[in-house]
C-alpha cells in the first residue's frame, strides 16, 4: 500500500501519538489535515511536515464546528482517505471518589465525539468505496485498569462501535482499524483528570519510560499497511494483557460473512 497522494485527517494532532502519526504519514507522502483545540501547536506540527497541510482547529465536543471542519476537510483535496479518531483524555482517580461529571466529560470526548466525527464522514467514505477509519483506543479499552474507570468505559465503548461498524462496512471497501496502545511517552498522564475534574499535572514513570511516539506511529502505520484490523502497540505486561484480550480475526471474518449473506437486509426487512 502506498500513501503517496493520500489525505490523512488526524484529530488530537497537536502532540503525542496524533502528531507522530502526522509526521510518519507525511514522510510517506500523504497530505495531512491537523485538528485539535490549540491552533498554535497545530501550526508547529505543520511546520515540521514535508507535505501539504491543512489546519482545522476545533473542539471535538462542538458538533457544529466538527461538521464545518468535515466539509472543509473533504473539500480540500476532494477526498479524505484516512481518518484518525485520536482526540482523548485519560483519568487517574478511584471510582468511589470520582465526580459523575468526570465520567460525562471523558465519555463525551473519548467516545461520543469520536462517534459523531465518524458519522459525519461516513457518507464521504461509503460514496467513494474506499479509505481507512482508525480509532485510537487503548490497552485500557481491552482490559479494565484501576484508577481509570471512566477512561476504560469510553475506550471499551469505542472498540465496540468500531467493531460493529467494521462489520457493517465489510462489503463497502472501507477498512476499520482499532489501535490499542499501551504506555507511550506522551502527556496523557499529565493531562489526565482527577476525581474533581482538575488536571493531574504530573506524569507516571511508566508513561515517561514508554514507547517513543514516533516508534508507536511507525508500528501503527506498518500495521495498517499490512491490513491489520486490531493493532496492539505495547510491550511487556501491557502487550501480554492486550494480546490475551485480542479479538480473533476469525470473529471479524464471521461477522463480515453474516453481512455478506444479507444479515442487515434481513434485519431491516423485519423492521
Catalytic residue set: 151
Q: Is there a contact between 58 and 159 (Cβ–Cβ < 8 Å)? A: no
SS3 letters across 183-195:
CECCCCCCCCECC
C-alpha cell at 62: 462542538
Q: Is there a contact between 87 and 58 (Cβ–Cβ < 8 Å)? A: no
How would you class 270 by CB atoms within 10 Å of its CB: exposed for 0-12, middle for 13-18, buried for 19 or more? exposed
Whole-angstrom distance, CA of residue 17 vs CA of residue 37: 16
Instruction: Number of helices (H) and strands (E) in the chain: give both, helices first.
Output: 11, 7
Least Cα distance to 211 among 191, 187, 237, 182 occurs for 182
Q: SS3 of 151, please?
A: helix
Amino acid at each position: 500500500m502506498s500513501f503517496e497522494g493520500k489525505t490523512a485527517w488526524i484529530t488530537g494532532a497537536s502532540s503525542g501519538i496524533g502528531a507522530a502519526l502526522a509526521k510518519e504519514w507525511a514522510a510517506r507522502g500523504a497530505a495531512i489535515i491537523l485538528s485539535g483545540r490549540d491552533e498554535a501547536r497545530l501550526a508547529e506540527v505543520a511546520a515540521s511536515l514535508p507535505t501539504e497541510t491543512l489546519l482545522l482547529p476545533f473542539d471535538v465536543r462542538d458538533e457544529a464546528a466538527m461538521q464545518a471542519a468535515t466539509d472543509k476537510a473533504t473539500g480540500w483535496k476532494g477526498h479524505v482517505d484516512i481518518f484518525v479518531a485520536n482526540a482523548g483524555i485519560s483519568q487517574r482517580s478511584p471510582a468511589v471518589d470520582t465526580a459523575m461529571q468526570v465520567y460525562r466529560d471523558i465519555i463525551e470526548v473519548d467516545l461520543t465525539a469520536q462517534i459523531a466525527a465518524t458519522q459525519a464522514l461516513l457518507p464521504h467514505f461509503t460514496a467513494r468505496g474506499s479509505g481507512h477509519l482508525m480509532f485510537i483506543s487503548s490497552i485500557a479499552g481491552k482490559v479494565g485498569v484501576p484508577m481509570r474507570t471512566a477512561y476504560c468505559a469510553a475506550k471499551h465503548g469505542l472498540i465496540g462501535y468500531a467493531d460493529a461498524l467494521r462489520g457493517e462496512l465489510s462489503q463497502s471497501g472501507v477498512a476499520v482499524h482499532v489501535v490499542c496502545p499501551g504506555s507511550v511517552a506522551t502527556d496523557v498522564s499529565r493531562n489526565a483528570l482527577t476525581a474533581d475534574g482538575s488536571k493531574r499535572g504530573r506524569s507516571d514513570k511508566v508513561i515517561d519510560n514508554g514507547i517513543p511516539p514516533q516508534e508507536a506511529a511507525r508500528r501503527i502505520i506498518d500495521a495498517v499497511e499490512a491490513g491489520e484490523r486490531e493493532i496492539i502497540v505495547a510491550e511487556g505486561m501491557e502487550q501480554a494483557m492486550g494480546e490475551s484480550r485480542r479479538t480473533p480475526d476469525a470473529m471479524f471474518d464471521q461477522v463480515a460473512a453474516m453481512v455478506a449473506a444479507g444479515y442487515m437486509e434481513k434485519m431491516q426487512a423485519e423492521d
